[in-house]
Structure 1
Amino acid sequence: MKIIPRRLEGVFEIQLSPLSDHRGQFMRTYDESIFASYGIQRHWIQENQSVSVRKGTIRGLHFQYSPSSETKLVRVATGAVLDVFVDLRKDSPTFGEWDSIELSEDNRAMIYIPRGFAHGFCTLCDHCTVQYKVDSKFSPTEDGGIRWNDPSIAVKWPTETPILSEKDKNLPTLEIFISQNKGLDSA
């Protein structure tokens, strides 16, 4: 397992190292001591799984308001996605900036996204299964998001005509989010 800091502070790419033999593969997807050596210490309380059946499906950009804000550890079990995260931490020098990573069953990469980020992904093929650990219980009353195609953020998605939920079609822009909230807490 190799942990690599990303451009946005607090975000880490995790490259997994499978062991292979005639039976197949084995790989560790989480190791508390390795994560702690990078200052990543979370108490994971839920693990979620999302299945998308069609290429070009976008889920996001979602977050939870405090006190339910979430750190996420995201990986793809089947298929491939472009995983996107937007810094919404109110005191961050990279507020409003985004980054992305391709996560797939083939590259075995994971992404660690701290609290204070909006998160989403776009499927790059049919039949994608995304798994993610979170360190806070989901709260419908603290649920929030930013519109996937907000021009002020300008995420470079791999589709211009995504498959979206009604909720995601109607999320506010970053400008509206700022006018209402000024940013998220990172604690």
Structure 2
Amino acid sequence: MRVHETSIDGVLRIELELQPNPDGWFKENFHRGKLAELGMDVVQHNVAHFEEAGIVRGIHAEPWDKYLSPTSGRVFAAIVELRPVPAFGRVEAFELGTADALYVPRGVGNSFCTLAPHTTYNFLVNEHWSPERVAVDLFDPELAIAWPDLPLKYTERDAANPALAALRA
């Protein structure tokens, strides 16, 4: 596993070793000791599967750290600094495939768009789920996220998220 810092403090882009074999590939997606070195003690593993490209979720900042990685397909991930720091509102985007992962600390917003049909996305978290979260409009012009040029599908709940400016108030 190779870890790279990003422009958002604490967000790490992780390259996982994908080992091809005659049947496909193998990867070590989770290693407790390696994640503990990053400061994460996993308590829950969630898996989401999406049948179509263009499914968008987010922007959500939850009260837990997240380790995100696709096991099939590809995703475009947009990460937004939502903690009360000078870099508030900074966006960084990534394209993630099966050999990639992101570590996103609590309070940082994350969102994604499936780039391929039959995408499966893993979320490891260090706190059990709760409804508490901060959310921001996926299409807020201030964030200027360059979403993929696909027909996008998102939930009514995400479409109703407030603008970034509302979080400053």
Contact 1:46/1:133 (8 A) holds in 2 = yes
Q: Which runs of 5+ in 1 are unaligned?
A: 180-187
2:89 maps to which residue? 96
1:6 maps to which residue? 6
Contact 1:35/1:41 (8 A) holds in 2 = yes
Deviation at 1:133, TM superposition (A): 0.3
2:123 maps to which residue? 132
1:175 maps to which residue? 165
Give every structure 1 segment of 4 or more consecutive aligned residues whose post-TM-superposition deviation is greater than 6 Å: none
Question: 1:1-187 counterparts in 2 under 5 A?
Answer: 1-37=1-37, 40-64=38-62, 69-90=63-84, 92-105=85-98, 108-140=99-131, 142-159=132-149, 161-179=151-169
Percent of pairs identical after alignment?
A: 28
Q: Give the structure-2-normalised TM-score.
A: 0.91
Contact 1:61/1:145 (8 A) holds in 2 = yes
Number of residue-to-residue matches in the alignment = 169
**Matched letter for residue 97 of structure 1:** R
Q: Which runs of 5+ in 2 are unaligned?
A: none
Distance 2:27 2:116 in 1: 24
Deviation at 1:42, TM superposition (A): 1.3
Deviations 1:119-149 (A, max 9, x none): 1101112121111101112212x13310100
Deviates more, 1:18-27 or 1:131-140: 18-27
Distance 2:100 2:72 in 1: 12
Deviation at 1:2, TM superposition (A): 0.9
Q: 1:29 to 1:143 in 2, by over 3 A?
A: same
Distance 1:124 1:95 in 2: 27
Q: 1:24 to 1:52 in 2, by over 3 A?
A: closer
Q: 1:31 to 1:61 in 2, by over 3 A?
A: same
Contact 1:32/1:41 (8 A) holds in 2 = no
Distance 1:60 1:134 in 2: 16
Deviates more, 1:114-123 or 1:151-160: 151-160
What is the Cα-based RMSD across aligned positions, in Å?
A: 1.7
Q: 1:162 to 1:22 in 2, by over 3 A?
A: closer
Deviation at 1:73, TM superposition (A): 0.3
